[in-house]
Structure 1
Amino acid sequence: MKRLLLIQCILFSTCMLACNNNEASKTSAAVDSKDEYANSRITTKAAPEWAEMLRHDTGWIGADGIYCTALTGIDKPGQMNDQSETMFWFSDCILGNIDTKADTLKGDWQMMNNSVAYFHGANPDPNKINYYWRRDSVGKPLSMFEPHTPKAPEKSYYWLGDGFMDHAKDSTIYIFAYLIHNVPGGIYPFEDLGVSLIALPKGSRPPYKDQKQFDTPLFFTDAKGKTVFGICVLPNTVGAGAPEPDGFIYVYGVRGMNKELVVARVKDSAFENFNEWRFWDGLSWNTDMHTCAALTDNISNEMSVSFMADGRVIAAYQLKTANTTVAIAAGATPWGPFQPAKKVWETPEAYDDLDFYTYNAKAHPNLSKPGELLISYNVNSFDFLDDIVKHPYHLRPRFISVKY
C-alpha cells in the first residue's frame, strides 16, 4: 500500500512539473512573440480618400505640383478641425468634362499652368474644396499667377514651388515660382530659367490683385551643377508652431544631376531681403550660395522637410524625382545631418500603363495626424496628349499615410 502511494505521489509530482514547465513554455513563447517594435515600426498605407477629394468629372479635373499651407500658418500634424481652412496651389491644371460611363474625356479640354484651391475642414470632402483660376475678357481660362517681374523672360510661365505664411511680415503668404519655358522635342519638353517670389498680403483672395512679385538670386549654375531654391520651406518660428523655434525660415534647394539637397536660411522679418540670406556650407552659415554643402542626395525637385514632435526633422521625397519609390529620411536639425533614406512606398500607378510615371512626393504636415505624414505624389504620362483623353482621371495627386 505504501509503495502504491509512493508511486502515485511520484506520478502526481511529475505531472505537476510537466504542467508547470508547459505553462512556463507558454509564458516564454508569449514573451518571445511580443512585438517590441509595434509602436515604432514605420508603416505605410494608401490614403485614397484624399485622392478622391481631387477627383472631379467636370471643370477642374486634374493637376500636379501640389503644395498647401494652413491659413493659420501652423503647418504641423493634428491642428486641423471643422473650421480650419487650407490653401492649395497646383501646376499644370486641366479643365474639361469626363464621360463617366466610358471614363474618357469628351469634347475640348484646356490646360493652365497653375491654379489654387481652398479646402475647409480636417477630413477630405470633394464638396468642401473650391478651385480658382483667372479668365480673360472672352472667358478663356488663364493661370492664376503669370510672371511680371523685371527679369521674367518673354513667353515664360510659372511652375509653383513651396510656400508658407510669414507671421513676422503681417501674415503674408510667400510662394516660390519657377520661371519655365517650353523646349519642344525632349522627353520633358520644358526648361526652368529662374526663381521668382510671389507675396500675397494678409487676407488676399483670388484673383490676388494685390499680389507682389520679386526676382530672386536663388537660381544659378556653377561647376557643381544647376541649383534651384524653393523646393520646400520650413518655418522654424513661434507662429508656425515649431517645437524649438529659432526665428529662421529654412529654404531648401536641389542641385546638380545627383539631386543634392542644399539649404539657406533667413530671419522671418527679413525674408524679402536677399542680402540677409545665409547658406549652409557644412560648418557654418555664410553669404556665398556657391559653397552650399549637400545634406543628402537623390531627392526630388519637389519635396518636404517638416518637424517631428521631438524637434528633429523628417524629409519626404521621391527618389531621383521620377522614380517609383517614395522615401523618408530623419535629420537631427533643419541643416542635417540626415540619415540614409528609407523606402516607404512603391507607386502602383506607374505600372497601370507603360507610359505612366510618378514623381515629386512631399508631405503635407497640416493635413497629417500626429505621428504620421500624409504624403502626396503626382501621376502623369509620357504620352500625355493621348492619355489625357483615354485616362483623364490619372492626372491628379495620389496620397499615402506614413506612420513612424
Structure 2
Amino acid sequence: MTRRPITLAVAAGLATALVPLTAAAAAPIACPPTGTEINTELTERFGTYGDTAGRWTGSDSAYSVDLPDGSTAWIYSDTFMGEVDANGGRPADSPFLHNSIVVDDDGVLTTHTGGTEAAPESLVKVAGADETQRWYWFGDATVEDGMLRVMLLEFIKTGTGVFDFKFTGNAVATIDPADMSLVSVTDLPDSTINWGSAIYEDPADGYTYVFGVEDNQAQKYAHLARVPSGSLTTADWEYFGEGEWSTDPAASSRILEGVSNEFSVSRFQGKFTLVTGDATEPLSAKIVMYRSASITGPYTGKTELYTTPETGGNVFTYNAKAHPNLGDRDTLVVTYNVNTFQGSDHYTDARLYRPRYVDVHF
C-alpha cells in the first residue's frame, strides 16, 4: 500500500490532453490552463512560519477548510514539530506526529496538536493505542453545526519495514474550532475504501459527498458516498455503485481510475472538477484535472495542470489537490506534497517536507 508517511512514496502519474467540448455540454467548462505560477503569498507565509515559529516545521496532506470565524484550518497528516536550525535543517530529536492542524487567521498562523507545547502529540490518537503501532491520518474536512468534522483513516503497523502497515478503518473526528480541541471520534461502518479523499458539499441537493480511494498500491480507484448535509456522524451513509445508491458499503463501485490517495472535487466554471496527482504511472511529476457534468461522473477530459519541478533523484511529489475556498472563478489554488526516499534528508533540509502552493489560471 502506498500512502504518505515520512519515508514512503505515494504514486503520482502522467497526464493527457483535454478532450474537445461537445454540443451536448450545456454548462460552460474550463478552457485549458493559460498558465501556472507559484503562489508566493502562501509559500512565504508558511515558509517563514516553519522556519521561525518553533512549532510546525512541515507536514503532508494539506486540506484547507474555512471556519465559521473566517479563518482557515489547514488539515495535516504526518507532521514535524520543533525548531529549524541556522542551516535550514531539523534537529534529529524533532517531534514527529501523525496529524495536526494549523489555523490561518488573516496571515497569523497557530499550530494545534495534542499533548503540550513542550511535548506535542498527534491531535487525534487511537484510544489506548501505541502510536508507533496504530494511528490516524487525516482526510478532508467540513464544518457542520459550527463543529469541524475531519475524516480519519486508521492504520496499523504490521512489521518492521517501512511499507509494513495497512489500513484498518474509517472514522470522523469532531473538533471544536474555538480551540481545536477534540470533542469525539465516531467510527464508520467497516469498509475496504479509504473514505475522506475529498469532500464536496452540494447546496443544490442537500448532500455531503465523500470521495474515497480503493488503494491497490499500483492501481487506485475513486469511490463515492453521500450523507444528508449536516449529518456526517449521525445519518446512514449511502454508497454509489453501478449507477445506484445503496446503504451497503460493499456496494460501492469504481468511478475513476488513476487518482492519488488525496485529491479534490469542486464546482469550477460550470463542471465538477477533480484535481489529483495522476497515479496511472508511478512517481510522475504531473498534476491533472478531470471534468464531469455530474458528481457521480463520468470524469473525463484528463488535462495536465502542472509538472512539479522538485521531482527527481530521491525527491518525489504526491497528493495534489485544489482549494476552491482560496481561488476565484478563473484560478485554482493547488497544493502538493514533497517528500524524499532518503530519510536523513528531512533533517538536512526542512523545506523538503512542506506543501507547495501554485495558482493555475484559466
| Structure 1 position 45, deviation (Å) | 2.2
**Equivalent residue number for residue 114 of structure 2:** 134
Which of these residues, 176, 180, 184, is aligned with residue 206 of structure 1? 180
- 1:393 aligned partner: 351
2:198 matched to 1:232? yes
- Further displaced range: 301-310 or 175-184: 175-184
Instruction: State the secondary structure of the residue aligned to 2:290.
Output: strand
After superposition, the C-alpha distances for 1:306-340 in whole angstroms (9 at most, x for unaligned) are 11242x21001111185321111111111112113
1:372 CA displacement? 1.4
1:355-374 aligned at under 5 Å gives the runs: 355-374=314-333
Match of 1:94 among 77, 80, 86: 80
**Equivalent in 161, 166, 191 of residue 139 of structure 2:** 161
Q: Which residue of 1 aligns with 2:23?
A: none
1:59 aligns with 2:55: yes
- Alignment partners' CA distance in 2, 1:130 and 1:158: 21
Find the residue that maps to 1:349 and give its secondary structure: coil
- Is contact 2:98–2:122 with CA below 8 Å preserved after alignment? yes
TM-score by length of 1: 0.74
- 3-state SS of paired residue (1:368): coil
The reply on whether 1:300 has 2:260 as its aligned counterpart is: yes
| Alignment-derived partner of residue 120 in structure 1 | 105
Distance in structure 2 (CA, Å) of the matches to 1:393 and 1:153: 25
* 1:24-43 mapped onto 2 (5 Å cutoff): 40-42=31-33, 43=35
Query: Residues 67, 156 of structure 1: CA spacing in aligned structure 2 closer, same or farther, 3 A cutoff?
Result: same
For residue 328 of structure 1, give the secondary structure of its aligned residue in structure 2. Answer: strand
* SS of equivalent to 1:307: strand
Residues 400 and 192 of structure 1, relative CA distance in 2, 3 Å threshold: same
What amino acid is the match of 2:340?
S
Q: Distance in 2 between matches of 1:108 and 1:153?
A: 17
Using the TM superposition, name which of 354-363 and 316-325 deviates more.
316-325
Secondary structure of residue in 1 paired with 2:181: coil
Whether 1:318 and 2:277 are equivalent positions in the alignment is yes
User: What is the rounded CA distance, in whole Å, between the counterparts of 1:344 and 1:95 in structure 2?
Assistant: 32
Match of residue 177 from structure 1:
152
2:135 aligned partner, one-letter code: Y
Q: Tell whether 2:352 aligns with 1:378.
A: no
Query: What is the deviation of 1:357?
Result: 1.1
Deviation at 1:212, TM superposition (A): 1.1
Pairwise CA distance, 1:400 = 1.5
8 Å CA contact 2:191–2:250 kept in 1: the answer is no
Report whether the alignment pairs 1:103 with 2:88: yes
**2: CA distance between counterparts of 1:61 and 1:333?**
39
Cα contact 1:152–1:179 (8 A) shared by 2:
no
State how far apart, in whole Å, the 1-side matches of 2:119 and 2:132 are: 20
Q: Could you say if the C-alpha distance between residues 270 and 391 of structure 1 is closer, same or farther in structure 2, counting changes exceeding 3 Å? A: closer
**Unaligned stretches of 5+ in structure 1?**
1-38, 73-82, 221-226, 238-244
What one-letter code is carried by the residue in structure 2 that aligns with 1:68?
S
Secondary structure of 2:346's counterpart equals helix
Query: Residue 144 and residue 270 in structure 1: after superposition, are their counterparts in 2 closer, same or farther (change >3 A)?
Result: closer
State the SS of the aligned residue for 1:293.
coil
1:291 is matched with 251
Preserved contact between residue 60 and residue 96 of structure 1 (Cα < 8 Å): yes
Counterpart-to-counterpart distance in 2, 1:199 and 1:118: 16
Q: How many Å separate the matches in 2 of 1:346 and 1:360? A: 13
Report 1 or 2 for greater relative contact order, CA contacts < 8 Å, sequence distance ≥ 6: 2
* Cα-to-partner distance string for 1:267-297 (whole Å, 9 max, x where unaligned): 11443245x3222223221223323232211
Q: Say yes or no: does 1:403 pair with 2:351.
A: no
Q: Distance in 2 between matches of 1:45 and 1:250?
A: 30
- Other structure's SS at 1:109 match: coil
Do the aligned partners of residues 108 and 118 (structure 1) sit closer, same or farther apart at CA in structure 2, a change above 3 Å counting? same
Which residue matches 1:9? none
The answer for unaligned runs of 5 or more in structure 2 is: 1-29
Distance 2:283 2:169 in 1: 21
Note the C-alpha offset of 1:263: 0.4
> How much has 1:217 moved relative to structure 2?
1.6
Letter in 2 for 1:115: S
- Tell me, in whole angstroms, the C-alpha distance in 1 between the residues paired with 2:241 and 2:347: 48
Larger C-alpha radius of gyration, 1 or 2? 1
- Of 10, 27, 39, the residue aligned with 1:47 is 39
| Amino acid paired to 2:113 | W
Aligned counterpart for 1:219 among listed residues 188, 191, 196: 191
RMSD (Å), alpha carbons: 2.5
2:305 aligned partner = 344
Q: Offset of 1:189 from its aligned partner?
A: 4.8
Distance 1:369 1:325 in 2: 23
Query: Does residue 190 of structure 1 match 2:156?
Result: no
| Contact 1:218 1:228 (8 Å CA) reproduced | no
